[in-house]
Amino acid sequence: MKIKSNIAVSDNGFVFDPNTGDSYNLNNTAAEILQMLKSGKEETEIIKVFAKKYDVDETTFEQNFYDFLGMLNHYNLVEENRG
Amino acid sequence: MEKLRYERPVINKIKAGVPDKFGMNTKIKIMPEIEGIPVKDIINKYGSPVFVLSEPKIRETYQEAHRAFSSRYPKVQFAWSYKTNYLDAICKIYHDEGSWAEVVSGFEYDKALANGVPGSKILFNGPDKNDEDLLKAIENSSFIHIDHFDELYSIIRLTKNTDKKAKVAIRINMDTGIYPQWDRFGFNYENGEAWNAINRIMLSENLDLVGLHTHIGTYIMSANAYAVAASKLAELAVRTNRKFNHNIKYIDMGGGFASKNTLKGAYLPGKDTCPSFDDYAEAITSALINSEIAPDNLPILFLETGRALIDEAGYVLGTILANKRLSNARRSTIVDIGVNMLFTSFWYEHEIYPAQECSLQTEDTAIYGPLCMNIDILREAIQFPLLQKGDHVVIPRVGAYNMTQWMQFITLRPNILLIDRDKNIQIIRKKETNEVFKQMERVPDHLK
Ligand SMILES: Cc1ncc(COP(=O)(O)O)c(C=O)c1O
């Protein structure tokens, strides 16, 4: 999943979408994921990194992660064509 | 390497120009324990969902309410409104505190007797008392609060065959400036029906008019409505005294005080808007004391407070079953507490708290019960933190009406626990089993 290239993400988790003028808040984990996605990391890789770094098992994280990606999609923050 | 604390990722859209209601903070309160006992331990031992009542809280609230009235008025008597919560253990706590019983059916009447309340300390309300109920109440010298003329004439007829006088009061409905006006119970004040009923009773040799009763409604947020009601009852007492030289022994103001729950559609939380016991007490007792009733004849003030006495002492504990996204991407969370056991979720925006540490992030969430029914909604929209399947939640202020109005629908009713004054947990109603239901059903031979 690719984040639209003109979406701005600040370090403290503030997201601005110039296409719509909408802005969003992210919590720390969400900000980290967004940065990884922006830098082109694969989804499977992100899951591995998180399960290692955080106190969470892979299945739980995977569920939360795809729920989160669903929200990014809902807010139109991702490119239409995947990959 | 030690792992970092995990919080599930969330993204929230910032809505410009939409402030929180009155700038209320959305800081997340958690409720990890009830009376010092961890929620997790209670659920592990007694299952989920489970109701928990606090005996210390029941007693403390009762004493607070009693003090509010007895510090302002010489003669005060509470009667526990059975329908609000008629678990025997709960009723016995109120009786132990000095409360009489207020009942509205033969079933409740017998329950009060079985709980050790003498007949002479039972107030019998309601439109449904059959001859058997009435006779029993007459024999036991209970106070019969007459609801309609058919009942009045039944009592006149029944007392012909006994040498006991029936001790009666009439229930009176009236305009107290609040909406809706409950005019379906009792005799109306404004149109003179109540005065007619008083006259009819005073002419009857076998009926002793001892009291005047009203119950103006429930969850009444205006203390002033009680002042109006008390003045009208006092006026009737004075008129009765003038015409018949007969003293009314008590004035019963019924129940109806609001609890701190928030009604659906209310803009501000109930905690901020509900009058205190002192407010209600001041309104009622001033109206009586300032009435034309002679100081020597001041009637006993009866109160049938239900909701406001017990709501705060009850909790229901439950568990998250699942999180989902609705088609518009809103979060929905399913818990194992349904409207079948939490009847009051039809009236209240119940508060719901996580029972364990959770993320500080909240999301606009719909909270649904477990029933496969569209009506099973606990909260349509609440800013709720992100809980995972298996996490526990606590819904406070559920002590009133749920444990009597709940229904056996789709799931069985859960355990009810009492935390006593020594912090021991006692089961006061066992969770239902399939066996209980089987016992009551019969399958005709041709279907066996
Ligand atoms: C006659 C009577 N008294 C007392 C009550 C208790 O009312 P509440 O729980 O509002 O205090 C009720 C409840 O409907 C009632 O009908």
Could you read off the pLDDT of B242-255 as tens digits, one per residue?
999 999 999 999 99
Q: Do B343 and B434 belong together in one domain?
A: yes
A39 in Cβ contact with A31 (< 8 Å): no
Range of the domain at B342: 22-52+312-438
- What letter represents residue A19's amino acid? N
**A82 belongs to a structural domain:** no
Band of pLDDT at residue B20, cut at 50, 70 and 90: very low
Instruction: Give the burial class of A6: count Cβ atoms within 10 A of its Cβ; 0-12 exposed, 13-18 middle, 19 or more buried.
Output: exposed
Band of pLDDT at residue B294, cut at 50, 70 and 90: very high
Task: Give the total number of structural domains in chain B.
Answer: 2
* Range A22-47 average pLDDT: 93
Q: Do B157 and B45 belong together in one domain?
A: no
* Range B10-22 average pLDDT: 66
pLDDT > 90: percent of chain B: 87
pLDDT of residue B209: 98
Q: Is B362 in the pocket of ligand 1 (CB under 6 A)?
A: no
pLDDT at residue B24 greater than cutoff 70: no
A53 touches chain B (CB under 8 A): yes
DSSP assignments along B97-116, one per residue: TT-EEEESSHHHHHHHHHTT
CA distance B351 to B15: 24
- For residue range B126-185, what is the model confidence (pLDDT) as tens digits? 999 999 999 999 999 999 999 999 999 999 999 998 999 999 999 999 999 988 888 899
CA distance B291 to B231: 7
**A1 belongs to a structural domain:** no
What is the number of the ligand 1 atom nearest to the C-alpha of B217? 10
The mean-pLDDT minimum among A6-20, B141-155, B322-336, B426-440 falls in: A6-20
pLDDT of residue B25: 45
What is the phi/psi pair of residue B363, to 5°? -140, 150
Structure tokens at B311: 């709501």
CB pairs under 8 A between A and B: 64
pLDDT at residue B23 greater than cutoff 60: no
CA distance A53 to A72: 23
Atom 4 of ligand 1, residue of closest alpha carbon? B255
DSSP assignments along B274-312, one per residue: SPPHHHHHHHHHHHHHTSSS-GGGPPEEEE---HHHHGG
Q: Where are the beta strands (DSSP E) in B56-141?
A: 76-81, 100-103, 122-124
Of B249, B280, B305, which residue sits at a domain end?
B305
CA distance B310 to chain A (A): 40
How do B362-368 and B76-81 pair as beta strands? Answer: unpaired
Atom 5 of ligand 1, residue of closest alpha carbon? B255
pLDDT of residue B17: 55
Nearest residue in chain A measured CA to CA from B360: A27
Of B4, B6, B11, Cβ closest to residue A26: B11
B119 in Cβ contact with B167 (< 8 Å): no
Taking all residues of chain B, what is their mean pLDDT, rounded to a whole number?
Answer: 94
CATH code, domain carrying B279: 3.20.20.10
Residue with tokens 């009444």: B220
- Give the helix ranges, DSSP H, for A1-83: 28-38, 43-53, 58-74
What is the number of the ligand 1 atom nearest to the C-alpha of B255? 11
A9 touches chain B (CB under 8 A): no
**A2 belongs to a structural domain:** no
* Range B198-211 average pLDDT: 97
Q: Is B318 left (phi over 0), alpha (psi -120 to 50) or beta?
A: beta
pLDDT of residue B417: 98
Of B273, B305, B337, which residue sits at a domain end?
B305
**A3 belongs to a structural domain:** no
Q: Is B53 left (phi over 0), alpha (psi -120 to 50) or beta?
A: beta
B216 in Cβ contact with B191 (< 8 Å): no
ipTM exceeds 0.90, yes or no: yes
**CB pair distance less than 8 Å for A33 and B9:** yes
Tally the residues of chain B. 448
pLDDT of residue B22: 43
pLDDT > 70: percent of chain A: 96
Q: Is B337 left (phi over 0), alpha (psi -120 to 50) or beta?
A: beta
Q: Is B256 in the pocket of ligand 1 (CB under 6 A)?
A: yes
Residue with tokens 């993204």: B11
* Range A36-45 average pLDDT: 92
CA distance B411 to B126: 31
Atom 7 of ligand 1, residue of closest alpha carbon? B255
Band of pLDDT at residue B16, cut at 50, 70 and 90: low
Chain B residues contacting A, CB < 8 Å? 3-14, 323, 325, 329, 359-361, 388
CA distance B230 to B241: 16
pTM: 0.91
pLDDT of residue B351: 96
B360 in Cβ contact with B274 (< 8 Å): no
pLDDT of residue B26: 55
CA distance A57 to A44: 14
pLDDT of residue B13: 86
CATH code, domain carrying B406: 2.40.37.10
Band of pLDDT at residue A81, cut at 50, 70 and 90: low
Omega before B354 cis (within 30°)?
no
A70 touches chain B (CB under 8 A): yes
Q: Do B334 and B406 belong together in one domain?
A: yes
Q: Taking CB atoms and an 8 Å cutoff, what residues of chain A touch B361?
A: 27
- For residue range B305-315, what is the model confidence (pLDDT) as tens digits? 999 999 999 99
* Range B431-439 average pLDDT: 94
**B226 belongs to a structural domain:** yes
